[in-house]
Chains A and B, each alone.
Chain A
Amino acid sequence: MSDREPLFSSKNIKLLTNPLNVDNPITVQVLGICSALAITVKLEPSIVMAISVIVVLSVSNVVISALRKMIPPRIRIIVQLMVIATMVILVDQVLKAFAYEVSKQLSVFVGLIITNCIIMGRLEAFAMSNRPWPAFLDGIGNSAGYGLILIIVGFLRELLGSGEILGYPVFEKIGIYNIGYENNGFMILPPMALIIIGVIIWVQRSRTKELIEEN
C-alpha cells in the first residue's frame, strides 16, 4: 500500500456508495434493526439519529484506523468499545445541550448506539485493517446507508401515521381529511416499521440483480 492512490479513486467511491445500496447495513446485512424500529415514528428524531450515527461511526472508524498498529489485539474489542462509548457520550451531551426535545424523544437510543452492531462491525471488519481515509469513507457510507433507511421509514411513518412532515400538517393543508381520509394509527406502532423495512428490502431485492440469490 505504498503507492499513493487518489483520494476519490473508484475503490474509495465504492466504500461510500456500496453501503447505500447493495451492502446496506439495514436492508442487506440486517443490522441495527432495533433502533430503526424504535425511533422512526417521526422524521425529526430519525434525522437526528442518522446524523448522530454518522458522527459516531466516521470518527470512531478514523480513530481506530489511526491507532490500528498500536492497539494490542488482545484488548482490541475493549479499545473499540471505549472509542465508541466516548463518541456516543459526547453526542448525547451535545444533543442534551442543543436539541433537548429531540434528545428526550430519542431517550435511551442515543446511548444504545454503543451497542449498535453496525458500528462494532465496521470497526472490527474495516477500520482495524485499513488506513484512516478509506476507514472514514467506509464509516460515512455505512452510517449514511443506515440513516437513509431510517429517514425513509421515518418519513413514511410520520406522513401516514400523523399526516405530517417534520411537524408540518401536510395532509391537513391539502384537505385530504375532508374527503374521508384518516391517519393510520397502526403506523405509529413499531411493527409497522418492521413491515416498511420489509417492503424496502423487497423493492431493493427485486431491483438489484446482485442481491437475487440463485436457488
Chain B
Amino acid sequence: MKSFSNTYIFVFSTIMVVIVAALLSTAAMVLQPLQEKNIEIQEKRNILSSIRIKSSAKDAEELYEKYITGSFVINTVGEEQEGVDAFEIEMGSQMRKTLEQRTLPVFVSSLEDGRKIYIVAVHGKGLWGPIYGFVALNEDFTTIYGTNFNHDSETPGLGAEINTDWFGAQFADKKIFNKNREFISIDLVKGGADPESLNEIDAISGGTLTSDGLEKMLYDCLGSYQTYFKNQMKNNK
C-alpha cells in the first residue's frame, strides 16, 4: 500500500472540502427561489385547509386568491400594524418574543355563502420538534370554523395524527371563549371528551406529549390574540 505523508493528507482533505463547499453552496443558491416558492405554496395550502378547502400544488395559488381576501398584522393589544405583510411573519420567532413585542398575522377569508372567516396562526412544541398550523374562527371570534395542524417530526400513527382529518374535524364549532367572554382555549382531554362541552376535544391516545404540546400551543397563541378578539367582539355588538 502506498503511504501518504501527513502534509498530503491535510492538503487533500482541504481541497476536497473546498470543492464540496463550493458545489453545495452553488446548488443551494441556484435552487433556493424554487424551494421558497414550494414552501409558499404549501403555506397557502395549509391556510386553505384551515377553512376546509382542499387544494393541490397546482390550484393552491388560484384558490388562495379566490378565498383569502385580505390579511393584516396586529400586536398583542389588538392594534393593527402598518407596513408588515402577514404572510411574511414567522409565528415561531414571534412566540419566542415577550408578549408585548409579538406581531401576529390575521388572514381574512370570504366564503361563498358570504360569511367572513378570520384565520390566525399558531406555533408550538410537539414531542420531537415544532408543531404549527392555522385556526380559523367565525365572525364571532369565539367559534372555531376549522383548523390545520402540521408537524416536522412527530411519531407516525401517534403524535403525527394531529394533521389527520378526524383530529382536525373535532375542532369545528368548539368555542375558545365562555359565555362570560373569558378566554378558555381548547382542552385536549384524555379518555373521551364530553360532547356537550364547549371546548373539549379528544386527545390522541399514545400521543400524550404531542397533545399536551398542542394544547399549550393553542393556549399561548390564541391567548396572544385574545385582546384583539375581545375588542372585535365589543365592536360587533
Contact = CB atoms under 8 A, between A and B. Distances in A.
Contacts of B42: 100
Nearest to B4: A72
B24 A89 contact: yes
Nearest to A98: B34
B166 interface: no
B31 A79 contact: no
A100 B27 contact: no
B16 A72 contact: no
Nearest to B8: A72
A66 interface: no
Contact of B4 (A74, A86, A89, A96): A74
Interface string B51-77: 000000100000000000000000000
B57 A101 contact: yes
Interface in B1-47: 1-2, 4, 8-9, 12-13, 16-17, 20, 23-24, 27-28, 31, 34-35, 38-39, 41-42
A101 B60 CA distance: 13
A86 B25 CA distance: 11
Contact of A96 (B13, B17, B38, B57): B38
Given A72-B9, A93-B27, A100-B57, A86 B38 contact: no
Dominant SS at the B interface? helix
A93 B23 CA distance: 12
B160 to A, nearest CB: 11
B24 A86 contact: yes
Contacts of A73: 1-2, 4
Contact of A97 (B2, B13, B35, B41): B35
Interface residues of A, number: 21
Interface string B79-92: 00000000000000
Interface in B182-224: none
Contact of B38 (A75, A100, A108): A100
Interface string A93-124: 11011101100000010000000000000000
Interface of B: 1-2, 4, 8-9, 12-13, 16-17, 20, 23-24, 27-28, 31, 34-35, 38-39, 41-42, 57, 153
Interface of A: 69-75, 78-79, 82, 86, 89-90, 93-94, 96-98, 100-101, 108
20 contacts: A69-B2, A70-B12, A72-B4, A73-B2, A73-B4, A75-B9, A78-B13, A79-B13, A82-B16, A82-B17, A82-B20, A86-B20, A86-B24, A89-B27, A93-B27, A94-B27, A94-B31, A96-B35, A96-B38, A100-B42
Given A72-B4, A72-B12, A100-B41, 20 more contacts: A69-B2, A70-B12, A73-B1, A73-B2, A74-B9, A75-B12, A79-B16, A82-B17, A82-B20, A86-B24, A89-B24, A90-B24, A90-B27, A93-B28, A93-B31, A94-B27, A96-B38, A97-B34, A100-B35, A101-B57
